[in-house]
Structure 1
């Protein structure tokens, strides 16, 4: 600015006579007294320009005194402008070394340029956002708050997985955590304890990743994988190592060693076993609460002792809610489907179910039991309790459908001697078709099963014998009263041939079968 004024002064000196030239010091000394200029002279002075150059060159037709006063006024104005600009520059207390101002979001595609350094200092009035783990936010911001260093590391691992860049822990202390890029990137971030917020705060985020993406990250720890896939393993404890490895590859687009996956499953199952062990101590409390909150319910927990002096161990549990029992007796058909299925969780055993059929021919659960194994003793225990709950004294008007389970046929004859016992036609056909396969044999079987009169049934059996006499002989082994409509009782108002309702119920509760007994 001052150099410009000196050049302007030299140009004016060359145009003016020597006796009227003023030095730069005299110009500066006369500048403050410009307000004493006579009004007659000041009236013809042109407007002031920013650079002052035009005001010096436009005075060719004016007198030397007017030019001299005009020069004094211009130089004085430039001096004041220069001083004001210097004061404004000194008032700026904060500046950034990079060309672009730093952004609060550290994971944007533009990111921070190399060498840029973002700190939280000077931002006390700024509202700090809090990290939300359930949202699994893939962006980390300067001044973001975390519960502790462990949560910050977990968040940074999630960020690294999202960006497919590996990082290492340069400092891993209780009060401070610092991470840098494994590659040659200038990336670095630091989080430490904040006395102001009493939690961990992301203080520094330097640079951005410029290295290539990686699909095998060392920073993805076993603990991080356990926290992320704990629920999935808990829902399916029988998941294989290869299956979980594929899930990680599909969801995270990462390759994880099979040994690490194996350790993850083992550690999660240890936690599951601990939770399963704790729930057995509360089974009696759970049974008491079910009885208290559901009037008329029956919940029985049976235990046994492995040794005489040993502790009681869970063996069986029977549940029949009062509301289900009353509504079944009030508005459903007297048909009960019996079936069993395996439990898929840590609690090994089987689930025995009794499913009814309502007025809309839809399934209606009545009672269920968790037993150690499906055999004659477990079925007898279950059906005896069911018979008592439903208050079945006269079994003549009842129909029980089964899949020919082991020990169940004899128990039904023992506890329900006068009831109608049906066998699922699909299971009969599955066993019969092992020797007699083909579409022709299948059609003949279902034609025989759907016959509504005894004469029609005998006629269709004769037709089957003409096609394959051995097939007819093998089918006659099964009692037609248990699988043909022509021999079903009519008082129950139900002519079902299969036990699909029980099968559908077992399929509906597939996910629930892997969960613990106590919800």
Structure 2
């Protein structure tokens, strides 16, 4: 009888009718439409076997289609459009809304569309629990196929990454991690392994360019005592000055406009944001963190994926970038 019920619900969903069942049990079921509508269907099992026979059917509707069809839930819609999800696992919510409206002449909410995306990923790639269960196999394969790599497994959720700049001033990805929450402990965990893997030591000869992530600046100062640590968002004229005299000239102009801004800037470590105070042993003069911002954009879609698919996609992005 369950297949019969599914068939009736599917008919209702595709044609815009909110059907329901009367006399609904293991051996029989009657499908009806709204009160006053003539449409109905009756079916029951034949004897003791599993064969279901339609005994009577009145196909004409005397009611109007419903714009809010309760049969068009996310499970039904996901199964209807599963081939589309197979072709495009990252099918966008906006596109889903438009296609469903055009095909079925109904409007679904963004919440239903988002549930469709989540359910489709479970059908195609497994549940979150199943994906986490495969992480150790994935880690073993990464270590087997990428000699010298480091793989650590823990239960986290946000994405961290470390990027370098090669001799042509292009992005060179080095490490990434998925963490539960962005805080000092998470950054310390990430940077300690990075420090160990690429042999940064106390940071001498290295330049660290960061944004103002929670706890990151403190951890950099804690682990890399001799590294230059720079930010990317202070005043350009003073920032780009290459001599101390030029720097003082522009700082004087800032002081004339705002004593408060001038005092605030002087509280920052000058070697973090002005070329005039960069250490001589460092051969890097970058002031912006644009390489991280650009690379962040390439990872936006990956963040929405399930854990194993996300890791695979980020790994492929790193490999293509290095090539």
Question: Please, what TM-score do these two structures have when normalized by structure 2?
Answer: 0.66
Contact 2:10 2:71 in 1 (8 A): no
In 1, Cα distance between equivalents of 2:131 and 2:208: 34
Q: 1:513 aligns with which of 303, 308, 322?
A: 303
In 2, Cα distance between equivalents of 1:479 and 1:158: 65
Residue 150 of structure 1: how far off its partner (Å): 5.4
Q: 2:273 aligns with which of 483, 488, 492?
A: 483
In 2, Cα distance between equivalents of 1:179 and 1:360: 70
Deviations 1:457-511 (CA, angstroms, capped at 9, x unpaired): 1111111222222221221111221112333467766433222322343343234
Corresponding residue for residue 288 of structure 2: 498
- Aligned-partner SS, 2:182: coil
Contact 1:170 1:179 in 2 (8 A): yes
Change (3 A) 1:375 1:218: closer
**Equivalences, count:** 287
Contact 1:451 1:457 in 2 (8 A): yes
In 2, Cα distance between equivalents of 1:496 and 1:203: 79
Q: Which has the larger radius of gyration?
A: 1
Corresponding residue for residue 229 of structure 2: 421
Corresponding residue for residue 465 of structure 1: 255
In 2, Cα distance between equivalents of 1:357 and 1:148: 60
RMSD across aligned C-alpha pairs, in angstroms?
A: 4.8
Segments of structure 1 that go 5 or more residues without pairing to the other structure are 1-146, 237-242, 303-313, 317-348, 430-444
Contact 1:168 1:219 in 2 (8 A): no
Contact 1:148 1:200 in 2 (8 A): no
Higher relative contact order (CA 8 A, sep 6+): 2
Asked if 1:446 corresponds to 2:301, the answer is no
Corresponding residue for residue 264 of structure 2: 474
Segments of structure 2 that go 5 or more residues without pairing to the other structure are 310-323
Alignment of 1:108-507 (within 5 A): 148-149=3-4, 151-161=6-16, 165-169=17-21, 179-182=31-34, 187=39, 207-220=59-72, 224=76, 251=101, 254=106, 275-302=127-154, 314=155, 349-359=157-167, 361-393=169-201, 395-425=203-233, 429=234, 445-488=235-278, 494-507=284-297
Residue 368 of structure 1: how far off its partner (Å): 1.6
In 2, Cα distance between equivalents of 1:374 and 1:218: 40
Greater CA drift, 483-492 or 202-211: 202-211
Contact 1:160 1:166 in 2 (8 A): no
Greater CA drift, 467-476 or 364-373: 364-373
